[in-house]
Amino acid sequence: MLMVTLTVVTGCDFFRKLAGRPTSEDIENKRVAIMRAEEAARQAREDSIRMEHQKMVDSLAVMDTVSKRKPSSLGGLLEMKLESKYYIIVGSFRSRSNAEALMNTASIKGYSPALITFRNGLIAVGVAPADNLGTAYSSLKKVRQEKFCPSDVWILVNE
């Protein structure tokens, strides 16, 4: 009778605790922790897949941007040799004063711009010179955030 009274009053957790076994609350906390860990692992996998997808999209965008714009497609460079292989072109002008105005704006923003003259008469403003395509693309993403940067910014491949 005493045993029945103790069981009714205290429940199974009392005897589990006496035996050094986990209580209902301990079991529930462990179940919740496992569910959270599984959710975190699932979210990490999704984030990893999303990042890899974005890298692929970015890579395709770089190749699309780079493949269309080479000095030869603009008539070639006019008597000048560029020091780096890649430049982010933020503007092309027929008027040298317009090109110089954009060059000054880029300088104020912390870039070291260069005026690039083509045989067809266009004067381009190039910023963020790089010898590595990955670096050039990173710079392109950064430059696109600037207010002076137009939507049709592109990467010049100096070949």
Q: How far apart are CA 102 and CA 124, in angstroms?
A: 10
Instruction: Write the burial class of residue 13 (CB in 10 Å: 0-12 exposed, 13-18 middle, 19+ buried).
Output: middle
Q: With pLDDT > 70 as the criterion, what percentage of the chain qualifies? A: 77
Residue 8 or residue 60, greater confidence: 60
Residue 72 or residue 94, greater confidence: 94
When the pLDDT of each residue in the chain is averaged and rounded to a whole number, the result is 81
Model pTM above 0.75: no
Residue 42 or residue 55, greater confidence: 42
Any bridge partners for residue 114, and if so which? 126
13: pLDDT strictly greater than 90: no
Residue 74 or residue 125, greater confidence: 125
Predicted pLDDT of residue 54? 80
